[in-house]
Chains A and B, each alone.
Chain A
Amino acid sequence: MNEMDYSPLWLSLKTAAIATVFVFIIGIFLARLISRRQFFGKSVVEAIILLPLVLPPTVVGFGLLFIFGKHGFIGKPLMKYFDFQIVFSWYGVLIAAIVVAFPLMYQSAAAAFQQYDPNIENAARTMGASNWRIFWTVSFPLAWPGLLSGLVLTFARALGEFGATLMIAGYIKGVTDTIPLAIYFSVESGKMDDAKLWVAIIVALGFSAILWLNWWSRRNMQKHTR
């Protein structure tokens, strides 16, 4: 039996973790900025944010190629001025993970910030608290259960990303071969044992994430209803 290469596990975890941190921060920021305000074109902005959720990942990948490809409006200047290529690199894997996972975090965060009475924040405001203090002492703790579920979903989605990743980053061993890609190419090249192991690993990761989230939510619920 040949030696197993575990780089897809490391690559997947690294990509999912970095994408999650990025999506978590930007998702919360945008949800705070957009969800409770009414402005012209709000529906269009929200539709654009949520679009990757309903599009086939290959379409998202095509869009990313269009933007970051050699002739794309971001890809071209990056190549010209910085000699830097996103396509077929780990950065492509990261961008694909960020784009497909983003709508989940945005949706969770927007719902979480709308769940409590807005007068709770207003009360803090009348007591002289700055917006920053209100966010950290009131909004964030009250929205935390929803934000955490968004965080776990984001991580799971980023970990499982396949279609868009393949379109923009391709399958390069040790560079862009995340677990989902490793499964696909293991099966294609007849290495069923490798594929089984990767499937077991990714199922175990997803399962423990959901299990932990459920356990945590229940514990949290009990704490607040005591």
Chain B
Amino acid sequence: MLDFHIVKQMPHFKLDAAIQASDEIIALFGPSGSGKTTILNCLAGLAKPEEGHIKLKDRTIYESGKANVSVQDRRIGYLFQDYALFPHKTVWKNISYGMKNEAFAKELMAQLNIEHLANQYPKAISGGEKQRVALARALATEPDLLLLDEPFSALDEKTRMRAHEELLRIHEIWRIPIVLVTHQHTDAKRLASRIYYIERGQILDSEAASLQHI
């Protein structure tokens, strides 16, 4: 379960967003610069809200003036827009960097069909493969929440469709809340159970979307 209210002054507007989600995929949809990534950064602990709260599972990881759990202790997986893989480490070293359990990490690699890439460096693999490696790396930490920042933006149409299916399959197994940031409506429609439309830091509207994975 995820419950947050984030208030933060941005250079050109005030970000003020409150969302409650069960173990579902929710999409934050809106134009570039509307504050979507800042919401993810606040959830992960990489940025600090000025007011509000963030509750995850049974823990309060942020509460204005009271609690602010460190990034390291939040147990949140984060898939960055450009994947941010360690370029000097092999795929396996990337995935094992924060893993809790080796057997589990290997199982994840099998699920995402990247076992054969274990000894490759990120430079030598395709965009779709990088995306799966980054996903495996984030999940290997066994997080309570997964944040995905434009995870499909660098993929071609065919790879994108396959990545959608993979994400739905992974969610089916994991059953944790996933926050997906996107400016592609098709991504949001296909993957999320609820879409939040964000502009200039405000949630303008929300709608229930795809039910195919529930």
Contact = CB atoms under 8 A, between A and B. Distances in A.
A127 B98 contact: yes
B12 interface: no
A161 B85 CA distance: 42
Question: How extensive is the interface on chain B, given as a class?
Answer: 20 to 34
Contacts of B80: 119, 122-123
B123 A122 contact: no
A134 to B, nearest CB: 10
Interface residues of A, number: 20
Contacts of A124: 86, 97-98
A105 B78 CA distance: 34
A123 B78 CA distance: 7
Given A119-B80, A224-B87, A129 B97 contact: yes
B66 interface: no
Secondary structure of the A side of the interface? Answer: helix
B76 interface: yes
Secondary structure of the B side of the interface? Answer: loop
Given A123-B80, A124-B98, A127-B98, A138 B86 contact: yes
Nearest to B79: A123
B97 A126 contact: no
Interface of B: 44-46, 71-74, 76-78, 80-82, 84-88, 97-98, 121, 123-124, 137-138, 141
Given A122-B71, A124-B97, 19 more contacts: A117-B84, A120-B86, A120-B87, A122-B46, A122-B78, A122-B80, A126-B45, A126-B46, A126-B76, A126-B141, A128-B73, A129-B72, A130-B72, A141-B88, A142-B87, A224-B87, A224-B121, A224-B123, A226-B124
